[in-house]
Amino acid sequence: MSELSVKTMADYMASGETPEILFWVGCSGSFDDRAKKITKAIVKILNHANVKFAVLGTEESCTGDPAKRAGNEFLFQMQAMTNIAVMNGYEVKKIVTGCPHCFNTIKNEYPSLGGNYEVVHHTQLLQDLLNTGRIKIEGGSFKGKKITFHDPCYLGRGNDVYEAPRSVMLNLDAELAEMKRSRQNGLCCGAGGAQMFKEAEKGNKEVNIERTEEALALNPDVIAVGCPFCNTMMTDGVKHFNKEQSVKVLDVAELIAQANDL
């Protein structure tokens, strides 16, 4: 495995260069062991496609999304303004995020606080890299496998992005199966709205179990996701049904990286 090449904004600044794009890694992508693998997959693809990208490294801080959805607007705006000050300082123009929550927050909620950037989710960047031929996928290890995609709420309903992840996966020569509740009607994994950070309220079932059940009913080889939180929830769901040997939960970026043996 080749070394990851990751430069920070500060590195670029020091060498007088400007990157094409800022990769906003996010808290999960930085700290969660499972999500770090997604981060690395994204970096491998960016390296492979020779995209000049930067990260903020230790200058990155939570977008404030979980605070905002939990009702703590103060904390959210403090986080937002801190991040905006850092990014405006580096004259950031374009951002790719590894998480739909970061994507939504920076794209939609930062502008009125002074942060105006072009923001894409990593599946949209992948689509772009494929369309422009900067990456190619030749069949690869997912050929003929059955994959079902779980729409993240903040990518799908929240921002009307349904096709980017699907069109990326079309390149895998796999069988894409849709759950009954998909796209606009997709069912949440249960993590949004700050639920990730608390016990669920009293009920008769966990949301991720309900959702995983629906996915498993299709007998997929892979449940594809585009969000580190969904990843956690679906992975837990698959474990709950003791299916982790036969069903993998993988981010779209990981699928692309693995198909290319990166």
Applying CB under 8 A, the residues found at the interface with other proteins are 4, 6, 8, 25, 27, 29-31, 36, 39-40, 55, 57-58, 60-62, 64, 66-75, 77-79, 81-82, 104, 108-109, 112-113, 153-154, 157-160, 184-188, 190-207, 209-211
CB of 19 to other proteins, least distance (A): 15
- Residue with smaller CB distance to other proteins, 13 or 78: 78
CB of 70 to other proteins, least distance (A): 5
CB of 194 to other proteins, least distance (A): 6
24's tokens: 């906003």
Contacts of 229 (CB under 8 A, 6+ apart): 28, 99, 101, 152, 189, 191, 192, 196
- Residue with smaller CB distance to other proteins, 126 or 161: 161
CB of 219 to other proteins, least distance (A): 22
- Residue with smaller CB distance to other proteins, 130 or 156: 156
Contact 189, 207 (CB under 8 A): yes
- Residue with smaller CB distance to other proteins, 21 or 38: 38
- Residue with smaller CB distance to other proteins, 124 or 171: 124
DSSP state of 119: E
- Cα 249 to Cα 20, 134, 184, 220, 257, distances in angstroms: 30, 26, 21, 10, 14
- Residue with smaller CB distance to other proteins, 16 or 203: 203
Q: Which of 110, 18, 115, 119 is nearest to 10 (CA)?
A: 18
Please count the residues of the chain: 262
Q: Which 3 state secondary structure label does DSSP give 194?
A: coil
CB of 202 to other proteins, least distance (A): 7
CB of 138 to other proteins, least distance (A): 28
Please give the order of strands across the beta sheet that includes 7-8.
7-8, 53-55, 21-24, 94-97, 118-121
Q: Which of 189, 226, 193, 230 is nearest to 211 (CA)?
A: 189
